[in-house]
């Protein structure tokens, strides 16, 4: 798998992104092609290609992704009405960038399945 992704460049701020949160473990930024009023990507700062590549040593970063999602949902004003967290894995799962990332999507009723 790749050692460098577009997300790696966003983490290092080499390419522009609307970054909402960044610490030593994770970075969160707005999706450039949002599917809902709030559509934020939350990524670990170190490259993990797919969910299949997660190791026990990644648990701290993955846990931080969840707490950051809750924090941003509150800041976006979507926590009370609800939101969706999505992680895709590999081709059939719809993964396009091979650096795991969580989509935080909300701001409108999403229904049973997210429609594009």
Question: For residues 84 and 81, what is the distance between their CA atoms, to the nearest angstrom?
Answer: 11
Active site residue 92: no
Cα distances (Å, whole numbers) of residue 8 to 14, 23, 76, 99, 104: 9, 14, 25, 8, 19
Instruction: Choose among 42, 100, 44, 112: nearest CA to 73.
Output: 42
Candidates 39, 99, 101, 103; catalytic one:
101
Q: Which two tokens stand for residue 60?
A: 């701290």
Question: For residues 82 and 74, what is the distance between their CA atoms, to the nearest angstrom?
Answer: 10
Active site residues: 101
């Amino acid at each position: 798998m790749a050692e460098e992704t577009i997300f790696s460049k966003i983490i290092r701020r080499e390419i522009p992104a609307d970054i909402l949160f960044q610490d030593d473990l994770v970075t969160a930024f707005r999706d450039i092609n949002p599917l809902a009023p709030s559509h934020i990507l939350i990524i670990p700062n170190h490259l993990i290609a797919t969910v299949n590549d997660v190791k026990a040593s990644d648990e701290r970063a993955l846990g931080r992704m969840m707490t950051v999602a809750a924090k941003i949902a509150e800041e976006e004003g979507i926590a009370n009405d609800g939101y969706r967290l999505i992680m895709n894995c590999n081709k059939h799962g719809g993964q396009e960038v091979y650096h795991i990332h969580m989509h935080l999507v909300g701001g409108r009723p999403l229904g049973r399945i997210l429609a594009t």
